[in-house]
């Protein structure tokens, strides 16, 4: 049924360029939403997230770990 | 506060296994690339063996580098970082190893089947249907392992790298399934379900997004993990990484049609592809800057540490390639660059710079840690860096020059309005020196990779492998651990399932808007009454054309430019391809376009040209196809082929394949043999060359004939 509806809607759309416009509007709305999202995030949360890769929870067992972390 | 600290072990064996095969397959993929590169200036380098001829090993090279080298590198990085970001061992060791061995089996099957000529001809999706099924199974195993690990994580939040891994797992599954819809006609061969323009759109929706979601998103995730690790400082802006992720995931999927500009694809789809490609610059550069700025205050380390050196070049190459990509999507730029070596240079900046160098940096980072020692030789790693960088330059610069030269020469008119270089061969002979220089660049890059392999081997010998790394973390509390009032995004990425659904919706929106109208609107592919299905002999000839990978060098799509119509004839119409399962437009011209090849030369010319291209076209770089002159045509599978084609929509009459088709085939084969005799060539009518000539002579001739009485549906 959905196919038929979409088919009848689209078949007569001579000017399918509207798709381009529609796509841009969808993306613009999406992008603004993401921006809004990103900018209301709290500083302490962002700091916590940024630090995640730096603490892998490994237990430091030998001196080589120390050498590596000092060298790199 | 949760004090329930648990001790657990990270699995290093699987990381090491993927690391080893990354290096091995990387070398194999690059060697095959070298063999292909050499054949472009020394065609006899194929040793007159069909199995290692350019058309067959080009897809082997691309598949090996993408799926074997980068694919294994991706798994290596994901299996290492995911465990540490989730503070949990992988969900299932069995699935980890199933993923590993399954993937290697797929690679081996590709290494066997592609040289044997089993190919769908769709770029980066050449593997035939049984292998496609195997890929789907292994990918599901990987995805279950990924989501299972995320589900049992001890860290409440999913770091941005994991988002990229999720997007990769989902999108590759969707792309692979949609593009691999095919109708088998033997245990190793099939025809695409889609035809012509629709097949092209689906293929390049896949092809473009395979680059996006196999070569880019997982590697961005790895960049967001390994770069801060190596620099020992947090990512420059986590906020920017959020915007980077969502914008990229949403935008990338729309841009596929930029591979089909000025083709018979409807104009609206082309414009959509171009606009969204241009918009991609923003998130891509946001990501690149985020990576580079992570090194703020640590540039002194870049001078010392080869890991960071490789990373800086990788991220810069990512930035360069993602600026160039959108620029190449501008229709006017594309009119010059498309089909030329410019595209080859562009993808190699991405492959050698972004993927290659990031993979090297991960290997140099991981090996000393897995073996609990220091890198055997930092000096050798630095040599690798400089040799690799030099190799990249020697590869890219000559090929850029070649690409622009080709584009300009194809379009050059004399002041009297004639083509300046009417013989296509002139334009290729001109750039052969560039092909030679490119091979030098490739060799340097390969030498660097060998140095790395030796360095890693010595590092492993000097250290002691740690199969499991012990770690500790608090068990995940049921209630969210407070960082103030929970925000939308925090709630979202705390719920992997919801996050996954949203990511899926993001990629599907673009895909559906792009593809659905193509299948629904009749006027997108206007039928042409005189376009008829291929005859049985031509079907066999077309399959030989596919087997030999002819489309690796010859396009079948004349763009509506005067420079093209003057050279090749009437520009290609969408309606000419309605029976093309699969489409064979190609993406590269090392030889002339063949869309209107039919009737241009006598049959005998084609025969002699296939036997030895330089006998008819002195200076040609086309390989000899002398085996086609002796190999017998496989007519036994004709009914299966015609039946499969009918099932995907080609209107062969019922029962045609059982008797009439064989008679039709014999009659046409004998006619070709008789024509050859007139050209002083004696050939048996049951040889492969006969079918190929029949196919080539058919190309583009339908619209020249008088309109037929019945419309082709």
- For chain A, the C-alpha Rg in angstroms (whole number) is 26
d(CA B406, CA B425): 11
d(CA B556, CA B573): 11
Question: What is the pLDDT averaged over residues B126-153?
Answer: 95
Residue B372 DSSP one-character state: T
Sign of CA dihedral B506, B510, B515, B518: positive
Select from B238, B272, B369 the Cβ nearest to the Cβ of A46.
B238
Contacts of B301 in chain A (CB under 8 A): 72
Select from B238, B268, B506 the Cβ nearest to the Cβ of A17.
B268
Contacts of A57 in chain B (CB under 8 A): 84, 87, 154, 471-473
CB count, 10 Å around CB of A31? 18
- Tell me how far the alpha carbon of residue B183 is from its chain's centroid: 22
Chain B contact for A21 (CB, 8 A cutoff): no
Structure confidence at residue B260 (pLDDT): 79
Residue B544's Cβ-count burial label (10 Å; 0-12, 13-18, 19+) is: buried
Is the separation of the CB atoms in B394 and B346 below 8 Å?
Answer: no
Residue A3 reports pLDDT greater than 60:
no
Cβ contacts below 8 Å, chain A against chain B, sum to 151
| Residue from B601, B670, B598 nearest B633 by CA | B670
Sequence-separated (6 or more) residues with CB below 8 Å from residue B389: B313
To the question of pTM greater than 0.90 for the whole model, the response is yes
- For chain B, the C-alpha Rg in angstroms (whole number) is 26
| Residue from B596, B529, B531 nearest B558 by CA | B596
d(CA B386, CA B89): 37
Minimum Cα–Cα distance from B304: chain A residue: A72
Select from A19, A64, A72 the Cβ nearest to the Cβ of B232.
A72
Helix (H) or strand (E) holding B554: none
Structure confidence at residue A12 (pLDDT): 47
- Of B134 and A64, which is predicted with more confidence? B134
Distances (CA, A) of B268 to B254, B514, B557: 12, 10, 18
Contacts of B489 in chain A (CB under 8 A): 37-38, 41
Dump pLDDT digits (tens) for B491-548.
566 677 888 888 888 888 777 776 776 666 555 566 788 889 999 999 999 999 999 9
- Strand stretches in B339-396, DSSP E: none
Chain B contact for A25 (CB, 8 A cutoff): no
Is the separation of the CB atoms in B514 and B204 below 8 Å?
Answer: no
Contacts of A2 in chain B (CB under 8 A): none
Structure confidence at residue B705 (pLDDT): 67
What's the CA angle centered on B630, arms B629 and B636, to 5 degrees? 105
d(CA B542, CA B107): 27
Dump pLDDT digits (tens) for B614-673.
999 999 999 999 999 999 999 999 999 999 999 999 999 988 988 899 999 999 999 999
The encoded tokens of residue B381 equal 């790693």
- Tell me how far the alpha carbon of residue B380 is from its chain's centroid: 32
Residues B382/B387/B388/B391 CA torsion (nearest 10 deg): 170
Chain B contact for A38 (CB, 8 A cutoff): yes
Question: What is the pLDDT averaged over residues B340-353?
Answer: 96
d(CA B404, CA B65): 25
Q: Please, what are the domains in chain B?
A: 5-463+505-515 (1.20.210.10), 536-704 (1.10.760.10)
Q: Which residues pair with B471 in a beta bridge?
A: A58, B8
Q: Which residues pair with B190 in a beta bridge?
A: B184
Is the separation of the CB atoms in B645 and B581 below 8 Å?
Answer: yes
Distances (CA, A) of B213 to B198, B209, B250, B361: 22, 6, 12, 20
Is the separation of the CB atoms in A19 and B518 below 8 Å?
Answer: no
Minimum Cα–Cα distance from B489: chain A residue: A37
Residue B190's Cβ-count burial label (10 Å; 0-12, 13-18, 19+) is: buried
Helix, coil or strand: residue B636: coil
Interface test with B, best of A3, A11, A49, A70 (most B CBs within 10 A): A49
What 3 state SS string does B113-166 have?
HHHHCCCCCCCCCCCCHHHHHHHHHHHHHHHHHHHHHHHCCCCCCCCHHHHHHH
Chain B contact for A44 (CB, 8 A cutoff): yes
Structure confidence at residue B570 (pLDDT): 92
Residue B704 — pLDDT band, cuts 50, 70, 90?
confident
d(CA B132, CA B135): 5
Dump pLDDT digits (tens) for B305-335.
999 999 999 999 999 999 999 999 998 999 9
Contacts of B239 in chain A (CB under 8 A): 38-39, 41, 46
Contacts of B150 in chain A (CB under 8 A): none
What is the pLDDT of chain B when averaged over all its residues?
91
- Please tell me the distance in Å from A2's CA to the nearest CA on chain B: 12
Interface test with B, best of A11, A38, A41, A65 (most B CBs within 10 A): A38
Dump pLDDT digits (tens) for B604-614.
999 999 999 99
Chain B contact for A53 (CB, 8 A cutoff): yes
Dump pLDDT digits (tens) for B251-302.
888 887 888 778 777 777 788 888 888 888 989 999 999 999 998 888 888 9
Is the separation of the CB atoms in B500 and B170 below 8 Å?
Answer: yes
Structure confidence at residue B297 (pLDDT): 81
| Residue from B419, B314, B301 nearest B359 by CA | B314
Select from B159, B471, B522 the Cβ nearest to the Cβ of A57.
B471
Contact A45 B369 (CB under 8 A): no
- Residue B33 phi/psi, 5-degree rounding, is -60, -40
Dump pLDDT digits (tens) for B540-569.
999 999 999 999 999 999 999 999 999 999
Is the separation of the CB atoms in B134 and B218 below 8 Å?
Answer: no
- Please tell me the distance in Å from B711's CA to the nearest CA on chain A: 20
Structure confidence at residue A55 (pLDDT): 84
Contacts of A69 in chain B (CB under 8 A): 232
Contact A47 B470 (CB under 8 A): no
Contacts of B499 in chain A (CB under 8 A): none
Chain B contact for A58 (CB, 8 A cutoff): yes
Distances (CA, A) of B703 to B523, B575, B577: 18, 10, 11
- Of B705 and B629, which is predicted with more confidence? B629
d(CA B119, CA B97): 28
Dump pLDDT digits (tens) for B212-262.
899 999 999 999 999 999 999 999 999 999 999 999 988 888 887 888 778
d(CA B34, CA B51): 15
Dump pLDDT digits (tens) for A29-58.
888 888 888 888 889 889 998 998 998 888
- Determine what percent of chain B is predicted with pLDDT higher than 70: 94
Does the predicted interface ipTM exceed a cut of 0.85?
Answer: no
Q: Which is it for strands B182-184 and B190-192: parallel, antiparallel or unpaired?
A: antiparallel
Is the separation of the CB atoms in B471 and B148 below 8 Å?
Answer: no
Q: How many CA atoms lie within 13 A of B43 on its CB side?
A: 16
Q: Which is it for strands B468-474 and B5-11: parallel, antiparallel or unpaired?
A: antiparallel
Contacts of A62 in chain B (CB under 8 A): 372
Structure confidence at residue B503 (pLDDT): 83
Contacts of B85 in chain A (CB under 8 A): 52-53, 56
Distances (CA, A) of B19 to A15, B10, B12, B477: 52, 16, 10, 34
d(CA B567, CA B556): 13
Sequence-separated (6 or more) residues with CB below 8 Å from residue B377: B455, B458
Structure confidence at residue A71 (pLDDT): 42
């Amino acid at each position: 049924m959905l196919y038929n509806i979409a088919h009848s809607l689209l078949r007569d759309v001579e000017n399918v360029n509207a798709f381009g416009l529609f796509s841009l509007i969808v993306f613009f709305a999406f992008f603004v939403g993401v921006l809004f999202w990103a900018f209301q995030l709290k500083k302490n949360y962002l700091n916590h997230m940024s630090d995640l890769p730096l603490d892998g929870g490994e237990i430091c067992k030998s001196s080589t770990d120390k050498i590596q972390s000092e060298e790199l | 506060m949760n004090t329930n600290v648990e001790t657990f072990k990270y699995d290093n064996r699987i990381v090491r296994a993927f690391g080893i095969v990354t290096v091995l397959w990387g070398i194999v993929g690059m060697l095959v690339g070298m063999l292909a590169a050499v054949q472009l200036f020394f065609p006899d380098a194929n040793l007159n063996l069909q199995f290692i001829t350019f058309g067959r090993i080009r897809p082997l090279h691309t598949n090996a580098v993408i799926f074997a080298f980068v694919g294994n590198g991706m798994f290596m990085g994901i299996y290492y970082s995911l465990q540490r970001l989730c503070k949990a061992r992988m969900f299932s060791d069995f699935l980890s190893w199933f993923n590993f061995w399954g993937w290697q089996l797929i690679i081996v099957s590709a290494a066997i089947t592609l040289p044997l000529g089993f190919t769908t001809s769709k770029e980066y999706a050449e593997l035939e249907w049984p292998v496609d099924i195997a890929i789907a199974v292994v990918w599901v195993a990987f995805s279950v392992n990924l989501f299972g690990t995320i589900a049992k994580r001890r860290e409440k939040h999913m770091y941005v790298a994991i988002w990229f891994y999720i997007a990769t797992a989902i999108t590759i599954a969707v792309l692979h399934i949609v593009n691999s819809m095919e109708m088998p006609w033997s245990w190793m061969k099939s025809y695409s379900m889609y035809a012509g323009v629709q097949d092209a759109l689906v293929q390049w929706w896949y092809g473009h997004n395979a680059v996006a979601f196999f070569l880019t998103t997982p590697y961005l995730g790895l960049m967001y993990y390994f770069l801060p690790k190596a620099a020992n400082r947090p990512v420059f802006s986590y906020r920017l990484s959020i915007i980077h992720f969502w914008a990229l995931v949403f935008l990338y999927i729309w841009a596929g049609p930029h591979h089909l500009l000025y083709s018979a694809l409807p104009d609206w789809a082309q414009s959509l592809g171009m606009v969204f490609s241009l918009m991609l610059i923003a998130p891509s550069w946001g990501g690149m800057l985020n990576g580079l700025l992570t090194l703020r205050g640590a540039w002194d380390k870049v001078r010392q540490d080869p890991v960071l050196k490789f990373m800086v070049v990788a991220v810069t190459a990512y930035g360069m390639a993602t600026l160039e990509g959108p620029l190449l999507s501008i229709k006017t730029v594309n009119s010059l660059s498309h089909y030329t070596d410019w595209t080859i240079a562009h993808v190699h900046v991405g492959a050698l710079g972004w993927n290659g160098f990031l993979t090297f940096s991960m290997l140099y980072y991981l090996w000393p840690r897995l073996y609990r020692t220091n890198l055997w030789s930092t000096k050798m790693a630095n040599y690798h860096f400089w040799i690799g960088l030099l190799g990249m330059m020697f590869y890219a610069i000559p090929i850029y020059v070649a690409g622009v030269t080709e584009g300009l020469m194809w379009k050059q008119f004399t002041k009297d309005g004639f083509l300046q270089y009417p013989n296509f061969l002139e334009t290729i002979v001109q750039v052969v020196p560039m092909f030679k220089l490119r091979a030098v660049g490739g060799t340097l890059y390969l030498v660097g990779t060998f140095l790395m392999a030796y360095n890693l081997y010595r590092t492993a010998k000097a250290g002691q492998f740690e199969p499991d790394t012990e770690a500790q973390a608090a068990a995940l509390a049921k209630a969210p651990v407070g960082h103030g009032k929970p925000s939308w995004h925090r709630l979202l990425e705390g719920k992997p399932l919801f996050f996954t659904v949203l990511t899926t919706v993001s990629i599907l929106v673009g895909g559906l808007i792009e593809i659905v109208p193509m299948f629904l609107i009749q006027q997108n592919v206007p039928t042409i009454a005189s376009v008829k299905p291929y005859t049985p002999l031509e079907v066999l000839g077309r399959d030989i054309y596919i087997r030999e990978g002819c489309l690796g060098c010859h396009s079948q799509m004349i763009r509506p430019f005067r420079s093209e119509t003057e050279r090749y004839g009437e520009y290609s119409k969408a309606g000419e391809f309605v029976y093309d399962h699969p489409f064979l437009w190609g993406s590269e011209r090392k030889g002339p376009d063949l869309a209107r090849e039919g009737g241009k030369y006598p049959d005998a010319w084609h025969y002699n040209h296939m036997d030895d291209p330089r006998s008819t076209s002195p200076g040609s770089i086309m390989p000899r196809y002398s085996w086609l002159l002796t190999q017998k045509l496989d007519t036994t599978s004709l009914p299966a082929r015609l039946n499969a084609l009918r099932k995907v929509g080609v209107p062969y009459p019922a029962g045609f394949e059982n008797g009439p088709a064989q008679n039709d085939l014999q009659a046409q084969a004998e006619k070709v043999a008789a024509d050859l005799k007139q050209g002083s060539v004696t050939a048996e009518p049951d040889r492969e060359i006969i079918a190929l000539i029949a196919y080539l002579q058919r190309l583009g001739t339908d619209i020249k004939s008088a309109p037929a009485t019945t419309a082709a549906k």
